[in-house]
Amino acid sequence: MAHAIAFDTLAYAKKLMAVGISDKQAEVHAEALAEIINEQIATKQDLREMEARIKGDIIKWVAGMLIAQGALIATLVELL
């Protein structure tokens, strides 16, 4: 997933510091959360790309099945 999600680490760290978390702990926590968000969470664009890939795979599968059915029907017609 190549697209980053906007996450304000400074604002998040300030919120943590406001409730008594030490500056260093708040900074590390904010950086860790930003990494998780940017590496693990899919964006709308990621989902659109995945949907397009899946649709393409389904179309290929259906086309292959139609060809296989046509070949099977043609073979059965010749045998009968």
Give the domain ranges of the chain: 1-41, 43-80
Q: With 70 as the cut, is the pLDDT of residue 36 above it?
A: yes
What is the arithmetic mean of pLDDT over 50-69? 95
Q: With 80 as the cut, is the pLDDT of residue 40 above it?
A: no
Q: What is the pLDDT of residue 41?
A: 80
Reported confidence tier of residue 62, pLDDT bands at 50, 70, 90? very high
| 55 alpha-carbon distance from chain centroid | 15
Q: What is the pLDDT of residue 72?
A: 95
Q: What percent of the chain is modeled with pLDDT above 90?
A: 68
HEC profile of the chain = CCCCCCCCHHHHHHHHHHCCCCHHHHHHHHHHHHHHHHHHCCCHHHHHHHHHHHHHHHHHHHHHHHHHHHHHHHHHHHHC
End-to-end CA distance of the chain: 54
